[in-house]
């Protein structure tokens, strides 16, 4: 709505920056494993008392890196789980070669670094037992580490599992150590596994090694990333500090072990929770202060002033004050005020503040009771951006400006990190003892596939820029458009004048493109959401083709209530426009053009097409998105093309009660889409290609074992003889590798249509990267495609080019987009339902792009 209208008005400028900013958001897993293991070790109910012991653990983990194995190895990280799903071996046509051939080769630099290991390198996994048994992990580690036998070896130990890069002389080794109390403890070290360097367990050990190295470069771990607080970027007018840092990963790509690093920023707010509350209190007044406060704060991640820990705010306890007491671990009672004074020499200034409650979940043993931590708002810093801040255009722009890095700037950051790692004595020592060598940055060759022609009604045009062909088609007739005869415009009294001028403009731009706009019925109402809704209810009858609302403000209540009614209760396509958008006089023509095109689509029109060599191909986009209001609900969107030209779309959407993002209803959707295709084309499609977006880490197996069979059964049941052939492709907009093109002495983003299918891909998958977007500023993120099921047996080259073609077909933007159009449509649909309507759209609208 508002965002969209604004984006439209502003044109391209927002789209790269919005994406950039998206990447900056707080990490989705803010409480890292490293933090949780220290939480698990302390047994106190109050943060106060447990703090010291937590510190100890924290210190240990940085000192020896061993202590995180239990989670890491016992509970393999989710993306690692995906790696064990080998889909390529089942796809005969790509078993030998998954590389395409068309296009012009282009030399690309990656953000991946070679990690060289000796050829016969192995990791040795040992199990360690103690006699007499020792509970304390700290003591277990201390005893083992102090032993001469192991002192100069590269090792990682969590108290139970020991990893060494050199084999011990014997398979079972007995050592004895003496505690400081003089007891003799026997340690039995038994070899359990020898792991090749490509094993997922090794990846985790490597990750831990690098974690240790980055800590030595004085970086802090927040979530999974590492940040340098000593070189912050400050945006004081918005109370923001941005810490530069890196997201890192070590993994096995095509033929080698690679270290990947991507620049990341952590947004910290130079604002304590108390200041935030005070501000909010002044803003909202007292009456709804507590509710608003809870709504805004719960779920946010805070950093405490006095230690390196992050907590999630789970609740606010308004009944507890800093002057209240809590029980320390030794049983004594102390007030929060005294505690912080004694422990941290901090004087609390506000004795009336409530306390924040954070639940500390122990990851180690699931049955452990959930413990609570009480935090003092004054001592907690906010991190990340609150939802409302994201819609603050100025703020987001300020953030984007600071965080957007040019390709060259990004490369310089990476080079500096590599340099730091190679130069730091401790880091080098650490790598050397493990036998690792930090090598050079990897380059590879990609291909730039030819650009596509855009088919409009009377001719085929070769756009000047594939990124934006709005200029090329300003006066061209679109493929098909229904004329708009009976429609309503609802506006406030104040907006009457702008509405009139906008409508005449709309008629003017509609004619040349072939969209006839007749005079609407204009209804003037008061400026409140109820009045708008009431007018709609009163005047919409079955003959109304479209309702346009000129909204006086971008309050969600207008948009949400209108959309909810017109999408589910009384299905009519609707178009919301912000009055302030129409006030931009100079831009009215381009705004009107964009809105005219959007309205055409909502009425079932087709704008343009690309050449699709495959006859009888149905493409499907699936996206899954969490409902904004109802926790535990997800919205599944399904969009399928229903004509061979791929210009008309059928959509279904469903809310489902599940925590996993797995689409449960796909069979029904698919069958519906096939029926629709049948009625339009008197037959079934020969091929179906499904693009599945919204897949989280670790869900690949579920997709293969659950979703693909659902789709397949629908497809096979559809026909008794030859059923359509199915392919399923997982689409990911976020991936570690980035590609930059060297041009002379500088670096640039790679050109549109760049495909990478070697080097940075995985040997066990049929995957490729595609760049189908431009960025005027900043660095591009490639989109990652993983073909997990493929009956069609298309050549990799054809699969890649078809995917590229599909990125041209999103009617909300006259240019290429970063994902295939069906994915973007599905995303639009799920977003609308998840954010605004929270209700399944009516089937009557299923044949139009009502969700644009």
Single out the residue of 308, 424, 483, 748 in contact with other proteins (rule: CB under 8 A).
308
In the complex, minimum distance from the CB of residue 238 to other proteins, in angstroms, rounded to a whole number = 5
CB closer to other proteins out of 137 and 238: 238
Single out the residue of 349, 475, 585, 720 in contact with other proteins (rule: CB under 8 A).
349
Residue 323 binding other proteins, by CB under 8 A: no
Single out the residue of 381, 638, 765, 850 in contact with other proteins (rule: CB under 8 A).
381
Single out the residue of 43, 176, 198, 230 in contact with other proteins (rule: CB under 8 A).
230
In the complex, minimum distance from the CB of residue 353 to other proteins, in angstroms, rounded to a whole number = 7
Minimal CA–CA distance to 780: which of 225, 23, 104, 249?
23
Single out the residue of 237, 332, 475, 631 in contact with other proteins (rule: CB under 8 A).
237
Where does residue 762 rank: exposed (0-12), middle (13-18), buried (19+ CB within 10 A)?
A: middle
Restricting to residues 121-160, which ones interact with other proteins according to CB under 8 A?
145-146
CB closer to other proteins out of 319 and 720: 319
In the complex, minimum distance from the CB of residue 686 to other proteins, in angstroms, rounded to a whole number = 52
CB closer to other proteins out of 276 and 638: 276
Minimal CA–CA distance to 273: which of 341, 373, 375, 358?
375
For 377, residues 6+ apart whose C-beta sits below 8 A from its C-beta are: 272, 273, 274, 276, 277, 353, 354, 355, 356
Are β-strands 521-525 and 487-492 bridged in parallel, bridged antiparallel, or unpaired?
parallel
Minimal CA–CA distance to 320: which of 377, 382, 271, 280?
377
Question: Residue 512, Cβ neighbours under 10 Å: how many?
Answer: 13
Helices vs strands, H then E, count in the chain: 26, 36
Length of the chain equals 852
CB closer to other proteins out of 391 and 659: 391
Minimal CA–CA distance to 662: which of 621, 704, 630?
704
In the complex, minimum distance from the CB of residue 348 to other proteins, in angstroms, rounded to a whole number = 11
Stretch near other proteins under the rule CB under 8 A, chosen from 153-161, 192-200, 238-246, 477-485: 238-246
Residue 220 binding other proteins, by CB under 8 A: yes
How many residues touch other proteins under the rule CB under 8 A: the total is 68
| Torsion on CA atoms 93, 94, 99, 103, rounded to nearest 10 | 30
In the complex, minimum distance from the CB of residue 177 to other proteins, in angstroms, rounded to a whole number = 13
Cβ-contact 160, 141 below 8 angstroms? no
Question: Residue 792, Cβ neighbours under 10 Å: how many?
Answer: 21
Residue 277 binding other proteins, by CB under 8 A: yes
CB closer to other proteins out of 255 and 347: 347
User: Site map for other proteins, 715-754, x if CB under 8 A?
Assistant: ----------------------------------------
Single out the residue of 152, 169, 180, 365 in contact with other proteins (rule: CB under 8 A).
180
DSSP-assigned letter for residue 568: I
- Over its C-alpha atoms, the chain yields an Rg (Å, rounded) of 29
Q: In 839-850, which positions are buried (b, 16+ CB within 10 angstroms) versus exposed (e)?
A: eebeeebbebbb
Residue 289 binding other proteins, by CB under 8 A: yes
CB closer to other proteins out of 318 and 629: 318
Identify the helix (H) or strand (E) that includes residue 109.
strand 104-116
Cβ-contact 46, 371 below 8 angstroms? no
Residue 460 binding other proteins, by CB under 8 A: no
Identify the helix (H) or strand (E) that includes residue 489.
strand 487-492
Minimal CA–CA distance to 36: which of 369, 310, 373?
310
In the complex, minimum distance from the CB of residue 429 to other proteins, in angstroms, rounded to a whole number = 12
Restricting to residues 388-407, which ones interact with other proteins according to CB under 8 A?
388-389, 391-392, 394-395
Q: In 219-229, which positions are buried (b, 16+ CB within 10 angstroms) versus exposed (e)?
A: bbbbbbbbbbe
Single out the residue of 281, 418, 531, 589 in contact with other proteins (rule: CB under 8 A).
281
Residue 425 binding other proteins, by CB under 8 A: no
Single out the residue of 283, 425, 615, 745 in contact with other proteins (rule: CB under 8 A).
283
Q: Give the span between the Cα atoms of 159 and 697, in whole angstroms.
A: 28
Residue 234 binding other proteins, by CB under 8 A: yes
Residue 344 binding other proteins, by CB under 8 A: yes
**DSSP secondary structure of 542-582:** TT--EEEEEESS--HHHHHHHHHIIIIIS---EEEEEHHHH
Residue 49 binding other proteins, by CB under 8 A: no
CB closer to other proteins out of 254 and 338: 338
Stretch near other proteins under the rule CB under 8 A, chosen from 48-56, 99-107, 122-130, 726-734: 48-56
Single out the residue of 275, 314, 697, 840 in contact with other proteins (rule: CB under 8 A).
275
Are β-strands 546-551 and 487-492 bridged in parallel, bridged antiparallel, or unpaired?
parallel
Q: Give the span between the Cα atoms of 155 and 149, in whole angstroms.
A: 12
Upper half-sphere CA count for residue 234 (Cβ side, 13 Å): 6
Sites of contact with other proteins (CB under 8 A):
52, 55-56, 58-60, 62-64, 145-146, 180-182, 215, 218, 220, 222, 229-230, 232, 234, 236-239, 241, 268, 270, 274-275, 277-279, 281-283, 285-287, 289-290, 303-308, 318, 343-346, 349-354, 379, 381, 386, 388-389, 391-392, 394-395
């Amino acid at each position: 709505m508002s965002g969209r209208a604004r984006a439209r008005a502003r044109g391209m400028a927002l789209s790269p920056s919005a994406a950039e900013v998206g990447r900056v958001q707080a990490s989705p897993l803010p409480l890292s494993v490293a933090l949780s293991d220290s939480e698990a070790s302390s047994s106190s109910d109050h943060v106060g008392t447990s703090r010291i012991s937590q510190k100890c653990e924290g210190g240990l983990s940085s000192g020896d890196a061993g202590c995180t194995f239990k989670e890491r190895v016992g509970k393999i990280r989710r993306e690692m789980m995906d790696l064990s799903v080998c889909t390529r071996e089942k796809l005969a046509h790509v078993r030998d070669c998954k590389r395409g051939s068309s296009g012009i080769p282009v030399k690309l630099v990656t953000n991946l670094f070679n990690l060289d290991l000796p050829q016969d390198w192995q990791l040795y996994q040992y199990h360690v037992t103690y006699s007499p048994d020792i509970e304390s992990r700290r003591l277990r580690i201390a005893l083992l580490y102090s032993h001469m036998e192991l002192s100069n070896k590269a090792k990682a130990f969590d108290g139970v599992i020991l990893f060494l890069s050199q084999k011990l002389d014997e398979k079972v080794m007995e050592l004895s150590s003496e505690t400081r109390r003089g007891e003799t403890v026997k340690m039995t070290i038994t070899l359990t596994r020898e792991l090749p360097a490509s094993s997922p367990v090794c990846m985790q050990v490597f990750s831990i090694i690098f974690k240790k190295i980055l800590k030595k470069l004085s970086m802090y771990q927040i979530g999974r990333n590492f940040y340098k607080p000593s070189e912050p970027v400050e945006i004081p007018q918005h109370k923001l500090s941005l810490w530069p840092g890196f997201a890192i990963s070590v993994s096995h790509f095509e033929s080698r072990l690679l270290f990947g690093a991507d620049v990341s920023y952590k947004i910290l707010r130079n604002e304590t929770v108390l200041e935030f509350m005070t501000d909010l209190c002044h803003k909202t007044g007292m009456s709804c202060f507590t509710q608003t406060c809870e709504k805004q704060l719960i779920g946010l991640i805070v950093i405490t002033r006095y230690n390196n820990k992050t907590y999630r705010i789970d609740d606010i306890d308004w009944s507890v004050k800093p002057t209240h007491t809590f029980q320390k671990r030794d049983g004594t009672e102390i007030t929060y005020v005294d505690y912080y004074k004694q422990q941290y020499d901090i004087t609390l200034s506000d004795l009336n503040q409530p306390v924040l409650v954070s639940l500390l979940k122990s990851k180690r043993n699931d049955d452990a009771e959930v413990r609570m931590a009480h935090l003092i708002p004054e001592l907690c810093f906010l991190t990340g951006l609150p939802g409302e801040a994201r819609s603050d255009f100025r703020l987001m722009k300020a953030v984007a400006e600071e965080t957007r890095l040019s390709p060259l700037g990004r490369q310089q950051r990476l080079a500096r990190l590599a340099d730091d790692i190679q130069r730091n004595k401790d880091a080098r020592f650490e790598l050397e003892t493990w036998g690792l060598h930090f090598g050079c940055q990897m380059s590879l060759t990609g291909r730039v596939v030819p650009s596509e022609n855009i088919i409009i009604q009377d001719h085929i045009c070769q756009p000047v820029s594939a990124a934006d062909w709005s200029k090329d088609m300003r006066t061209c007739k679109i493929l098909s458009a229904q004329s708009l005869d009976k429609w309503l415009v609802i506006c406030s009294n104040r907006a009457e004048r702008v509405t009139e001028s906008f409508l005449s403009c709309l008629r003017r731009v509609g004619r040349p493109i072939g969209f006839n706009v007749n005079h609407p019925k204009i209804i003037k109402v008061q400026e409140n959401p109820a009045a708008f809704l009431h007018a709609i209810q009163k005047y919409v009858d079955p003959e109304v083709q479209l309702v346009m609302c000129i909204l006086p403000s971008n309050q969600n209540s207008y948009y949400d209530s209108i959309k909810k009614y017109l999408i589910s209760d009384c299905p009519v396509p609707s178009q919301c426009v912000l009055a302030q958008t129409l006030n931009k006089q100079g831009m009215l023509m381009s705004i009107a053009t964009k809105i005219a095109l959007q309205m055409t689509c909502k009425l079932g029109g087709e704008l343009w097409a690309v050449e699709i060599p495959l006859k009888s191909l149905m493409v499907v986009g699936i996206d899954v998105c969490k409902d904004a209001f109802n926790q535990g609900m997800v919205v599944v969107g399904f969009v399928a093309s229903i004509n061979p030209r791929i210009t008309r779309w059928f959509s279904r959407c469903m809310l489902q009660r599940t925590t996993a993002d797995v689409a449960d209803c796909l069979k029904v959707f698919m069958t519906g889409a096939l029926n629709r295709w049948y009625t339009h084309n008197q037959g079934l499609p020969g091929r179906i290609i499904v693009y599945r977006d919204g897949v989280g880490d670790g869900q690949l197996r579920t997709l293969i074992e659950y979703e693909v069979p659902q789709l397949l059964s629908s497809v096979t049941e559809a026909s008794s003889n030859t059923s359509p052939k199915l392919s399923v492709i997982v689409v990911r907009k976020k991936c570690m590798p980035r590609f930059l093109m060297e041009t002379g002495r500088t670096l640039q983003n790679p050109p549109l249509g760049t495909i990478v299918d070697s080097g940075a891909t995985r040997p066990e998958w049929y995957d490729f990267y595609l760049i189908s977007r431009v960025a005027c500023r900043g660095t591009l993120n490639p989109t990652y495609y993983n073909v997990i099921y493929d009956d069609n047996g298309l050549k990799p080259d054809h699969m890649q080019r078809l995917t590229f073609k599909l990125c041209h077909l999103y009617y909300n933007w006259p240019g290429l987009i970063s994902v295939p159009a069906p994915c973007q449509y599905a995303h639009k649909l799920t977003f609308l339902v998840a954010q605004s309507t929270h209700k399944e759209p009516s089937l009557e609208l299923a044949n139009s792009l009502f969700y644009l």
